Amino acid sequence: MIDFLVIGGGIAGTSAAARLSELGKVILLEAEDHLAYHASGRSAALFEESYGKPATIALNKASRAYHVHADVLSPRGLLLIGTKENATAFAHDQKHMTLDPITLAEARKLIPVLDTKIVDRAAYHTDAWDIDTDRLIQSFVRTTRQNGGQIVTGAKVTGITRSGNDWNILCGLDAYSAHNIINAAGAWVDHIAKMAGITPLGFTPMRRSMARIPAPNQLDVSAWPMLFGPGETWYAKPDAGALLVSPADEDPTDPHDAYANNLTLAEGLDRYSKHVTAPVERLLSSWAGLRTFAPDRNLVLGPDPDTPSFIWCAGQGGYGMQSSPGASQLLADIVAGRSSAIDKVHIDALSPARFRNGGR
């Protein structure tokens, strides 16, 4: 009998499987032929401790030591730029992300193509880091396997039923029995809940598009910081000698293998272009991923209060990579009945119970 059957092989599922493998027998099922195929494999992957809601920030802080130990971080930095037209949004973001004001000359040294005829304010800090997403996921996979856990790809769940206090899970012709299900299915978490006879929580998958463009003016962009527009209306980030540009879109959609919308990409590239002196002349590639949010945009971590053997690990939104060590550790602590490094206020903000019977 399996103690914990994890559904979903993105960063949520792989991190949960690793932590829970210390508590019992784990099997992880991933519908695709390899792990991290959907949102986790299409992430901009920045560790910025102050990015997110208060409960997410608490998870980010609890994740730093793991990221450092796993050696998945490399220096990036974060530069916020603004204009007179978006001064209010700029001030909000600067305060929220605890960025230091810098001069336009300093900003131009960081990103030489900034158009200081348009950009009239900037804020920056060094404490923002690229995440090696593959290395991070493989660190969790390694832990799971070292503890005797199994990872099965190409295993789409087709049926879930109850047998007494246990679960029966079908994947085509294969069947599994488990004491607990961990629902880490990303954009499909409510679908898995319905299949198991659990009331969905109302998650919304939202498309986030990305364009990869040549380095502006053939410059070496490797040391450039991540560049944000106020209110997260667009951002740009170096990537293997090129530049990623996103319109930071959040278009609600159904769960599917997402692809970029050309009009949305054009809008995002236009927002970026208005702040730089180098025109965008062509695309190298484009793609999209689904960032899935609960109604209050906090993660959902822990047993369903109506069916405690159905455990949610969901709603990572755009914070899954950076928060995964802290989130998965909290999940394991809750399941094991242990104390946590996360305080009760934030644990309550992350609990599935907030959506059941008035948040009991």
CATH number at residue 212: 3.30.9.10
Helices (H), the chain: 11-20, 54-70, 87-96, 104-110, 133-146, 189-195, 262-273, 320-336, 344-350
From CA 208, how far away is CA 186, in angstroms rounded? 14
CA distance 139 to 87: 42
Give yes or no: residues 114 and 215 share one domain.
Answer: yes
For residues 16 and 145, membership in a common domain is answered with: yes
**Is there a single domain that holds both residue 190 and residue 217?**
no
Final residue before a domain boundary, out of 258, 276, 292: 292
Judge whether 320 and 313 are in contact, CB under 8 Å: no
Q: Are residues 155 and 55 in the same domain?
A: yes
Q: What is the pLDDT of residue 360?
A: 46
**Do residues 268 and 305 both lie within one domain?**
no
Residue 360 lies in a domain: no
Q: Of 258, 292, 326, which closes a domain?
A: 292
How far is 112 from 137, CA to CA, in rounded Å? Answer: 34
Q: What is the pTM of this model?
A: 0.95
Please enumerate, as own/partner, the contacts of 253-258 that have beta carbons within 8 Å and a separation of 24 or more: 253/205, 253/206, 253/207, 253/290, 254/205, 255/186, 255/187, 255/188, 255/191, 255/205, 255/290, 256/187, 256/290, 257/38, 258/38, 258/42, 258/207, 258/287, 258/288, 258/289, 258/290
The whole-number pLDDT of residue 45 equals 85
Q: Give the N- to C-terminal CA distance of the chain in Å, as an integer.
A: 32
In terms of domains, do 157 and 191 share one? yes
Give yes or no for a contact between 8 and 203, defined as CB atoms under 8 angstroms apart: no
Residue 148 maps to a domain: yes
Residue 51 belongs to a domain: yes
Q: Are residues 143 and 105 in the same domain?
A: no
Residue 275's closest CA among 142, 93, 80?
A: 80
Question: Does residue 351 sit in the same domain as residue 248?
Answer: no
Domains in the chain: how many in total? Answer: 2
70 found inside a domain: no
User: SS3 for 262?
Assistant: helix
**115 and 100: one domain?**
yes
pLDDT along the chain (360 residues), means of 10: 97 97 98 77 79 95 98 97 96 94 98 97 96 96 98 97 95 95 97 98 96 96 96 93 94 91 92 96 93 97 97 95 97 98 97 80
209 and 281 both lie in a single domain: yes
Q: Would you state the pLDDT for residue 51?
A: 87
Shared-domain flag, residues 220 and 274: yes
Partners of residue 291 on adjacent β-strands: 206
Do 46 and 164 reside in the same domain of the chain?
A: yes
Q: Which is nearest to 77 in space by CA: 115, 109, 120, 53? A: 109
Domain that holds residue 159: 2-60+132-202+295-355
CATH number for the domain spanning 171: value is: 3.50.50.60
